[in-house]
Structure formats: structure tokens, C-alpha cells
Structure 1
Amino acid sequence: MSARNIGHPRVEEGAPRDSGVEEAAQRPSRVRRTPDNLRALAEAGNAALGSLTDHEASPAEVVAWVAANFATDAAAVACSMADAALPHLVAQYLPGVDVLFLDTGYHFAATHATRDEVARQLDVRIVDVLPEQTVAEQDAAFGAELFARDPGLCCARRKVEPLQRALGGYEVWFTGVRRDEAPTRTLTPLVTYDERNGLVKVNPVAAWTFDDLLDYAGAFGVPVNLLMSQGYPSIGCEPCTKPVAAGEDPRSGRWAGLSKTECGLHL
């Protein structure tokens, strides 16, 4: 259980925040398979796992397929730290796997606390993925509270670009995307080739409901963000996330009052 950072400033855990460790030294050094090879593997895996059929593989079977086809240092788990169900599941088959946390500079204190618990409890390596600019630097360049004036640009700078940069050293990444979260996610496959980021994308819990997620977390005692019990079924950056009433769309608290429904990571 350890942690490291990718982004700006680039530092190792425990080091002064201005020490500046080179990003390249932080990434896996193994030789990646070609895009054509990874694309073919993704297609074969999706078919073998029965994605979107009546015989669809379970989340554990999906992760086991990844473990049989990819080395641990070629894999990464994206985690928003709403809960640690996905990192826990993946770590059963790929112990020591990298867990990417997009540290936007705008997270709730409870989200950082969950991140710390995940690092402490699970057999994973936390990777803090940081934007090129701090919040103060972004404010100076674009004006204060960019999230309120142009949330799409803010997400692009603080989430999408940093993740794309961080994924450059991997062959496969896991997401916690679920089909019940939004209409844009209802046809999410178990495995696909991520053309934008150039690697295999795996969504092992796509068929899970919100209750399934909570049941798994409870059964295995994995960390869950305190905000989940306070009306926040979907947790993003603090300025852009509001609690929702029981029975409402779980993602209605994200960018509340705006037409925006996705940060751009999965589009």
C-alpha cells in the first residue's frame, strides 16, 4: 500500500510539494502492445464475456479476464473516491494495482479522507493525478471560479487532460461506470478499446445498481465516502456537487442547474 503523484507539481508522497519529480519516472516502464493488438484483444474480451447479453460475465469474471491478459503494472483503476468497491475488487486479482485519483484541487475533505483510507486499507498504490495548473494558477490565467462560468473547460483542464496524460503508460484501465447512472451510459460495454486514450477500457461493474455497489462495500468492509450517507450518491468537485433527495436521479446533484451531465472522461 503506497502512493505517488502524477501531474503538477510532481512529487512523491511525503516529499515537499515543490520538489518536482519527473513525471516519466512515475509511469510503468514496460513495453506496451500496439494499438491494433489492444483493439483486437478488447473486441475478443467483450465477446468472450458476453457483454450486454443474457449471459454477461460477473464483475469478478471480468476482472479475472483482465488479470489473465494484462500484467499488474500495465493496469490502472480510475477512482473518484466515492467508494472503494472497484479498487477492492480489482486488487483481489491484481494486487498492488495503481489507483488513479484525479486530485482537481476542488474535492470535499471527505473525499480526501476516503482516499487516505483506501491507501491505508487496500493492497493498491494510490496515484494522485494533478492538473498542470494549481487552482490559483488557473484563476490567474482564466479568472476565478472557472467552474461556474465554463464548467466544460474546467473539467477538461482539471480532469480530462490530466487523466489522458496519466494513462499514457498503461495498456488497460478500469472504470466504475454503471449503466443505471445516466441515459448516456445505458449501453456501456464490459470491455472496449478507448480510442481517445489509446488503451483498453474495462467497466466491470457496468450492470451493477447503486444498491449493488453499497452491498459489496458493506459485505467486504471497504471504505465509503461519508457523503454517500448524506444525500450524495454521486460525488465530484465540491463547488459542482449538491445533495439529492431520495428517489431523484443519482447524478442530478452533479452540475445542478446546468445542462452538463458528464465531465468528459467517458464521452
Structure 2
Amino acid sequence: MAAENSRAEISSQSSSAGDNGSVDSGFVSPNSSTGNLPRIILTKAHLDHLNKQLESLHPVEILKFCKIFFPNLYQSTAFGLTGLVTLDMLSKIEKESPNPQPIELIFLDTLYHFQETYDLVERVKARYNVNIHIFKPADVNTTEEFEKLYGEKLWETSGELYDWIAKVEPLERAYSELKVAAVFTGRRRSQGGQRGQIGVIELDEERQIVKINPLVNWTFDQVKNYIKEHDVPYNVLLDRGYKSVGDWHSTVPVGEGEDERAGRWKGQNKTECGIHNKQSRYAKWLEQTARQRGQRVSAS
């Protein structure tokens, strides 16, 4: 029975129309929006076993294992230092492989990144032979179009709405359109905040995605030293006191002794932008917003 409970099952067949893709003990893909995904089941016992085995491995070994184990695998990145190290390691793995199968990237262009970040994306394209899938907020291509629809400084007037439009919805659209089953992320425990207890492999049960954190055990100095040693292109904002770079309107340099991500949403009770929070938080928020909008219409 124990062996049965810790079993991982991978099948190339899609679920039937009546299968809602839910398993109480673990993770299942597909669901209604990703019906063509391979079927992946990881029970909690198997997940614990995998994390125990992977915990002590070098990130390169984690990457090699996950490339074999997980289908429909992508790298989600905002081109932070950890993501760049992961990209460089994957590039080296591909060069050594007799049958290269490059991991493609997902980049969320919120339209409010620093110019230095956009410049970095171009340098990454020039350095690595990698396909980058760029997803922007729906129905807009520029900040001018965004602000025409939603007004200026939406991140101040309605932070939850901004997160949903600029980050959460584009990421979920990427998962659906690309039929993503698993993603590499750049999260590390040393970044602080909600990330202090994350494992190598996590299950986002609401979005039905496997999240893999290959450098989860590395410190900022280890990441920075790898960047320097291997001459990996990086965001020049690092040299100006930034350690974690997001949108220009919500990112500042980090002070001495502060957590690595202390410069994100400075002064706010917030450590994540939404893409690593539970989906239900936004589902509830959307429901509440729709209800309030309906009440205003009725009152008028």
C-alpha cells in the first residue's frame, strides 16, 4: 500500500470530458483549460521523497533530472540573477547533450519594467539560443494603451487589480496557451519573506502546475559569484544597489542588512506580486469587485 501511495503516474492521454483533474492526495494535470497536457500525478508521499533526494544535489543535477522527469517543461523568469544562472546552466547542459531539447522561457512584460531589464532581454537573446515567449496584459501593447484603459498609477489606486491584469492573468494565459505542465522558477529560501520554507519541487494545486526551484539552497553571494565566474549577462541595476528587480514603480535599492527582496514594494505589507500566491485569493477578489460594481450600477 505504501508503494502504491508514493507512485508517480505519467500518461500521454488526455483526461475524459467528465474528469475534472482533481486528486485529493496530490496534483493532477490536465483541467478544463489545459486538456491536452500529459497527465501528471504526484502524491504527497512521492513529492516528499523527491524533495528529500533532490535537496542535497547541485542545481545542475536537479536541472538534468527535471528535464527528463517532467514533460511540457518551461522556465518562467523575469531575468533576475537566479533565473539567469538557471538559464546559463541549462545552456551548458544542452551543449553537452547529444539530443538537445532547449527549455523555452516565459517572460511577463508588465509594460512597466526598467529599461535596463528590457536591454538585458536583448543581451540574453544575443548570448543564448533560446526561445522567449513574451506575454503582456491582455489587449494592450504599450503603457499608453494600458493607462488609457485603466488609468494612471493603477498599482497605487488598486494594487490587486494591477497584479491581476499585469501579472496573474498573463501568466495563466501563458500556462494555457503553451500547455505548461511544469516550470523552473528563480525562487530561493535566502530571499526571505514567504520563500523561507519552499522546497525544490512544489505543487501549485490551484493552477495545476509543478514549480521547480533548482537553486533553492543557494545564497545571494553564490548566485552573484556564479554570474561573475561564468560571465553571465545581468541587469546593470545590480551594480546600483538593487538585488531583486521588478517593475520600476515598486522596486528600490536594498539597504545594508535588509532581506534580498526588501526593495520590492517598500513600505507595503506585501512580499509577492500574485503569481506565487494562491489563485483563490484573486478569484475571491474578482468576485468581490464584480459584486461591488453591480451594487454601484444598481444604485445609479
Shorter-chain TM-score range: 0.7 to 0.9
Which residue is equivalent to 1:178? 188
Paired residue secondary structure (2:183): strand
Which residue is equivalent to 1:161? 169
Task: Pick which of 172-181 and 182-191 moved more.
Answer: 182-191
Unaligned runs of at least 5 residues, structure 1: 1-28
* TM-score (ref. length: structure 1): 0.79
CA 1:43–1:162 in structure 2 vs 1: closer, same or farther (change >3 Å)?
farther
Task: Pick which of 111-120 and 135-144 moved more.
Answer: 135-144
Which residue is equivalent to 1:48? 50
Residue deviations 1:206-241 (CA, integer Å, cap 9, x gap): 111111111111222111100011111010001111
Alignment of 1:39 onto 2:42: yes
User: Of 105, 108, 116, which aligns to 2:114?
Assistant: 108
Which residue is equivalent to 2:290? none
Q: Is the 8 A contact 2:102 2:130 kept in 1?
A: yes
Which residue is equivalent to 2:295? none
Cα RMSD over matched residues?
A: 2.3
Following superposition of structure 1 onto structure 2, how do residues 54-203 of structure 1 map, counting pairs within 5 Å? 56-71=56-71, 74-83=72-81, 84-93=84-93, 95-134=101-140, 135-168=143-176, 169-203=179-213
| Paired AA for residue 39 in structure 1 | L
Q: With CA pairs under 8 Å and 6+ residues apart, which has the higher RCO, 1 or 2? A: 1
Paired residue secondary structure (1:105): coil
User: Of 222, 227, 246, which aligns to 1:236?
Assistant: 246
Paired residue secondary structure (2:104): strand
| Paired AA for residue 130 in structure 2 | V
Cα distance in 2 for partners of 1:226, 1:187 equals 29
Which residue is equivalent to 1:214? 224
Paired residue secondary structure (1:187): coil
Paired residue secondary structure (1:208): coil
Task: Pick which of 134-143 and 62-71 moved more.
Answer: 134-143
Cα distance in 2 for partners of 1:212, 1:31 equals 39
CA 1:38–1:170 in structure 2 vs 1: closer, same or farther (change >3 Å)?
farther
Task: Report percent identity of matched pairs.
Answer: 30
Task: Pick which of 118-127 and 223-232 moved more.
Answer: 118-127
* TM-score (ref. length: structure 2): 0.71
Cα distance in 2 for partners of 1:204, 1:90 equals 11
CA 1:164–1:51 in structure 2 vs 1: closer, same or farther (change >3 Å)?
farther
Report how many residues are paired: 232
Structure with the largest fraction of helix: 2
Q: Is the 8 A contact 2:137 2:166 kept in 1?
A: yes
TM-superposed deviation, 1:93: 3.7
Q: Is the 8 A contact 1:77 1:97 kept in 2?
A: yes
Residue deviations 1:150-197 (CA, integer Å, cap 9, x gap): 223212211111011101211210000011112311111101222122
User: Of 178, 197, 214, which aligns to 1:204?
Assistant: 214
TM-superposed deviation, 1:143: 2.2
CA 1:247–1:68 in structure 2 vs 1: closer, same or farther (change >3 Å)?
same
- Larger of the two Rg values belongs to structure: 2
User: Of 222, 227, 239, which aligns to 2:237?
Assistant: 227
TM-superposed deviation, 1:51: 6.3
Task: Pick which of 141-150 and 181-190 moved more.
Answer: 141-150
Paired residue secondary structure (2:106): strand
